[in-house]
Amino acid sequence: MGLGEAVVGASVSVLLLLLVALPLAYFEAPPPGFVESVALTAVFGLAASLLALVPGLAAALAVRRGGLLGVVSQVLYVPAVVPPTSVGVLLLASFSLPRAACVEGVGLLCGVAAFVSGHVVNKPLGILIAMTVMALPVSFSIFDGALREERAEAFFRSLGFSGLRLFLLLFLSLRSATVSALVFSWIRSFGELGVLLIFASYPMTASIYIYQTWLTHGIGPAVGASLVVIAVVMALAFVVRRWLS
Amino acid sequence: MALLVEGLRARRGAFTVYVERLAVNSVVAVVGRNGAGKTTLLDAIAGVIEAEGRVAACGRDVSRLPPERRGLAYVQSVPVDPPTRVDKFLRMVARRHGAEEEVGEVVGRLGIEALLPRRGGLSTGQRQLVNLAAALLARPCAFLMDEPTSHLDWLNKKAFNDIVKALGKPVLYVTHDPFEAMYVADVICVMERGRITRCVENRVDVAYIYKVAESLWA
C-alpha cells in the first residue's frame, strides 16, 4: 500500500470512528419532529439551491468578463468567508424594525418594515432567504471553476445567442457544474446552523432540531438524529459523485 | 475582404496586444509561444474583451458590436458540451441563422451522423466536430479558432484540420505548432510579445510527412 492510500485509509478510519462508531454507543431514537425537520430542510434547501443558480452563474460570467462588475461580483463569496453567526446577525438586523423609522409612531416605513419582519424572521421565508444567501458562494465558485475550464460563453455568443437563451444554453452545456452547484449547496443546507439559529430558527430545520434535541433531551437522541442525517447526506453525495464521474 | 483588423489594441492586465493590420481571406495561422498574446488577439477580434481599433467582417465594421452580432464563429481549444441532443442543438443554431436546409449537408461533410442522437458522453474530438458543425450552421463571415486541436489525438487533429482546409471560408487559426500551421494554413503569421512580427505565404507542403505519420496507424 502506498503512502497516499495509507493517508486516505487513516483519515477515513478516524472520521468513521469519531463520527459513527464511537457515538453509536449513545444512540437513541430522536424525539418527534425529526422527520419533519429533515423534510423541511430538504425542501427549503432545494428551493434555495435552485434560487442561487442564476446569480451564481451570472456572477461567474461577470468575473470571467472582468471589469468593475467582475470585481463587485466577488461579494458573493462573502457568506462563505465570514462567520455564519455574523451573517445571521446581519440578516436579522436587515429584516428587523429600523428603530429610527419607528420613533414617531407607526409611519409607512415602520409599517412596511414591521410587515416584512413579521413574515421573515423565524418564519419559513427567513429559512429560504438564509439558505439562499449561504448557497450563493457554493453556486458561484462551482460555475467560476467550470467557466475557467470551458469558455462556453464566448462560443455560444459567437453563434449568435444572448440574453436568457444564452443563460439557458450555459446551464445545459455546463450541466455537470449546474448539478454540482445544485446538489452541493443542497447538501450544505443540512449543515447550516449559525445563520438559522439567529435569523430563522423556526420552523426547525435539521440542524436546529439536532441542537434543540441536544439541549432538551441530552446527547443520545441528538446522536440518533445526527447519524440519520449523515447517512442521508452521504448517500446523496455518493450518488451524485457516481453520476458526475 | 472577409476579415480585416486594423490598429487593434487590447489589454489583459498589464499585457497589451497591438496589431497594425491583419487581413484574413483564407486560412491564416497565427503561431507563437505561450503568453505571446494569441488568445487575447482572438478575444479582442471576437469582442469577448474590449479593444480599440477596427474589426471589419465581410466589409461591415463590427468593432462596436457584441460577439453575438459580429458574424465571427469562435471555436475554443476546450470544446463546449452541446447543451442538448446533438441534432436538436444543431437545428437550434441553424434555425437562428436560417440554415435549416444545411444541417444534413454539414453533418454529412463532417461525418458526424452517428452523433446526432447523442447528448452526453462525447469524446473531445467528437465534441469539437459538433462545435465546428454548429459554427458552420451559424453562417459566419469568418472563423476564429483558438488551438482547436490542442486536446485531440494526432489522427483526430489531422481529421479536424482536413475539414478546416476544405471549409472554403476564412479562418484565423491559432496554434503553438508550426508544423500544424504549415499543414492547415495558406498564410502563417508569427506573434511575439503581443505583436504580429511577420506573415509569410505558406509554401511548404507537409502533406507528405503527415501521410507518412498517418501510415503508422494503417
**If you measure CA to CA, which chain A residue comes closest to B83?**
A173
What percentage of chain B has pLDDT greater than the value 70?
100
Q: HEC string of chain A?
A: CCHHHHHHHHHHHHHHHHHHHCHHHHCCCCCCCHHHHHHHHHHHHHHHHHHHHHHHHHHHHHHHHCHHHHHHHHHHHHHHHCCHHHHHHHHHHHCCCCHHHHCCCCCHHHHHHHHHHHHHCCCHHHHHHHHHHHHHHHHHHHHHHHHHHCCHHHHHHHCCCCHHHHHHHHHHHCHHHHHHHHHHHHHHHHHCCHHHHHHCCCCCCHHHHHHHHHHHHCHHHHHHHHHHHHHHHHHHHHHHHHHHC
Q: Rounded mean pLDDT of B79-99?
A: 96
Average pLDDT, chain A: 90
The grid coordinates listed for B58 are 465581410
Decide if B46 touches A, using CB distance below 8 A.
Answer: yes
Of the pLDDT bands very low, low, confident and very high (cuts 50, 70, 90), residue B204 is confident
Write the CA distances from B102 to A169, B95, B97, B144, integer angstroms: 22, 10, 10, 21
Q: Is the pLDDT of residue A80 over 80?
A: yes
What are the residues facing B144 on neighbouring strands? B74, B172
Task: Name the residue ranges covered by the structural domains of chain B.
Answer: 3-83+119-215
Domain ranges in chain A are: 30-244
For residue A53, the model assigns a pLDDT of 96
pLDDT of residue A100 exceeding 80, the answer is: no
Q: Which residue has the higher pLDDT, B140 or A101?
A: B140
CB atoms within 10 A of CB B60: 13
pLDDT, position B5: 95
A158/B96 CB distance under 8 A: no
Q: Which residue of A has its CA nearest to B135?
A: A159
CATH superfamily of B3-83+119-215: P-loop containing nucleotide triphosphate hydrolases (3.40.50.300)
Q: Hey, is the C-beta of A70 within 8 angstroms of any chain B C-beta?
A: no
The predicted pLDDT at position B118 comes to 93
Tell if the CB–CB gap between B96 and A175 is shorter than 8 Å: no
- The pLDDT of residue B218: 76
pLDDT value for A108: 74
Please name the member of A154, A168, A171 whose beta carbon is closest to the beta carbon of B74. Answer: A154
Burial of A177 (0-12, 13-18, 19+ CB in 10 A): buried
A210 to chain B, minimum CA–CA distance in Å?
41
Chain A within 8 Å of B83 (Cβ-Cβ)? Answer: yes
pLDDT of residue B151: 85
Q: Which residues of A touch B136 (CB under 8 A)?
A: none
**Mean pLDDT value across residues A9-13:** 95
Band of the pLDDT at A2, cuts 50, 70, 90? confident
Out of A65, A162, A173, closest to residue B80 by CB: A173
What share of chain B has pLDDT > 90, as a percent?
78
A69 vs B57: which has the higher pLDDT: B57
All cell numbers assigned to B28: 491564416
Determine the residue among A64, A158, A161, A243 to mutate to test chain B binding: the one whose Cβ has the most chain B Cβ atoms within 10 Å.
A158
Global confidence as pTM: 0.86
Q: Tell me how many degrees the CA angle B163-B166-B169 measures, rounded to the nearest 5.
A: 105
Q: Give the pLDDT mean for A222-228.
A: 95
Instruction: Reply yes or no on whether the pLDDT at A245 is more than 70.
Output: no
The pLDDT tens digits of the residues spanning B174-184 come to: 999 999 999 99
Q: Tell which B residues from 141 to 160 touch A, by Cβ distance under 8 Å.
A: 144
**Residues contacting residue B65 through CB under 8 Å, at least 6 positions apart:** B47
Residues of A in contact with B135 (CB under 8 A): 158-159
pLDDT given for residue A105 in this prediction: 57
Lowest mean pLDDT of A135-149, A151-165, A202-216, B154-168, name the range.
B154-168
> What's residue A240's pLDDT?
76
| CATH class label, A30-244 | mainly alpha
pLDDT of residue A104: 61
User: B36 falls in which pLDDT band (50, 70, 90)?
Assistant: very high
pLDDT range class, residue B212, cuts 50, 70, 90: confident
Number of Cβ within a 10 Å radius of residue A240: 17
Q: How does residue B100 score in pLDDT terms, banded at 50, 70 and 90?
A: very high
Q: Which of B48, B83, B140 sits opposite A154 (nearest CB)?
A: B48
Share of chain A above pLDDT 90, in %: 70
Distance CA B127, CA B38 (A): 23
Mean per-residue pLDDT for B48-72?
94
